[in-house]
A and B are shown apart, each in its own frame.
Chain A
Amino acid sequence: DTGVSQDPRHKITKRGQNVTFRCDPISEHNRLYWYRQTLGQGPEFLTYFQNEAQLEKSRLLSDRFSAERPKGSFSTLEIQRTEQGDSAMYLCASSLIWDSRETQYFGPGTRLLVL
């Protein structure tokens, strides 16, 4: 049983460029989450999907951020016109929701550095 995978693991970009990250959840998991983690802090919720539907977006997710999960499997997170403040670790997690109980399993993250 493979875990959550994320690609790329590291990304360095210049301010103003667009970047896209990919997350592949654990197969048969119907929920997928994106979190952002800055240095010295815990992960902060950004958005989540149940199957292909995006059910909530955090206030942290500005208009420059967009996430998709087109077929209810993998997901992409795109940041347009990156800013230095976007530098962080972007974590993806997946879970199987049943009987109102769930545990989120996290991927290795994508570390973004905006120069």
Chain B
Amino acid sequence: EVQLVESGGGLVQPRGSLRLSCAASGSTFNDHYMAWVRQAPGKGLEWVGLIRQKDKNYLTEYASSVRGRFFISRDDSTNSVFLQMNTLESEDTAVYYCARENVYQFFSMDAWGKGTTVTVSS
């Protein structure tokens, strides 16, 4: 069973940067897409973006709300995925989850971490 553990959240000032990490256990990390999803306080889920696997050239997709500010990368040698967040705004305050999009199961998000909290405030 895959387990995902996010880290790197915290308090950051507006226009600042933060890098989130997600460590995955399990032997099939390399096969799957990895996504980031966020949830603002008291709100619903919002997809942030994803990164494909090596044989898809690690191509990425992003929500329009973060495109050009957020960047997703992965390191298959350490089963990790990262979310670099730049020029942060108060609207980016949220719990950030990483999730696996299972390529063998219709790209469903079948594993989730517990999340890491990002607060953007002066």
Q: Do A and B come from one complex?
A: no
Residues of A participating in the B interface, judged by any CB pair closer than 8 Å: none
